[in-house]
Amino acid sequence: MTSLWLSLTLGAVAALADYAGGVLLVRRSPSARALRYFVALGAGFMLAAAVLEMVPEGLALSPRWAPLLVLVGYCGVHLLEHTLVPHFHFGEETHHHEFLSARTSYSVLLGLAAHTFFDGIAIGSGFAISHWLGWIIFVAVFLHKLPEGFTVASVMLAGGRSRSAALNSAMFLGATTLAGVLLINLQPSWVRAGLPLSAGVTIYVAATDLVPEVNREPGIRMALVFFAGVVVFFLLKLLSPF
Measured from the CB atom, the residue of 65 and 110 that comes closer to Zn ion is 110
Region label for 91, one of left (φ > 0), alpha (ψ between -120 and 50) or beta (otherwise): left
Which one, of 3, 1, 2, 59, lies nearest residue 184 by Cα? Answer: 3
Examine residue 209 and tell whether it contacts Zn ion (CB under 5 A).
Answer: no
User: Is the CA virtual torsion 103, 105, 111, 117 positive or negative?
Assistant: negative
- CB of 31 vs Zn ion, minimal distance in Å: 20
Measured from the CB atom, the residue of 73 and 241 that comes closer to Zn ion is 73
Q: How many other CB atoms are found less than 10 A from the CB of residue 75? A: 13
Question: Pattern of binders to Zn ion over 107-146, x per CB under 5 A?
Answer: ------------x---------------------------
Distances in Å between the Cα of 134 and the Cα atoms of 11, 54, 193, 195, 224 are 10, 10, 16, 11, 26
Interacting stretch for Zn ion, rule CB under 5 A, among 12-20, 67-75, 95-103, 182-190? 95-103
- CB of 205 vs Zn ion, minimal distance in Å: 6
N-to-C CA span, the chain: 15
Which one, of 162, 172, 170, 124, lies nearest residue 146 by Cα? Answer: 170
Question: Pattern of binders to Zn ion over 9-38, x per CB under 5 A?
Answer: ------------------------------
- CB of 93 vs Zn ion, minimal distance in Å: 5
- CB of 144 vs Zn ion, minimal distance in Å: 5
Site for Zn ion (CB under 5 A): which residue of 63, 95, 219, 241? 95
Measured from the CB atom, the residue of 60 and 100 that comes closer to Zn ion is 100
Total residues in contact with Zn ion, by rule CB under 5 A: 4
User: Is the CA virtual torsion 87, 93, 94, 99 positive or negative?
Assistant: positive
Q: How far is CA 169 from the centre of its chain?
A: 15
Measured from the CB atom, the residue of 119 and 213 that comes closer to Zn ion is 119
Examine residue 64 and tell whether it contacts Zn ion (CB under 5 A).
Answer: no
Positions in the binding site for Zn ion (CB under 5 A): 93, 95, 119, 148
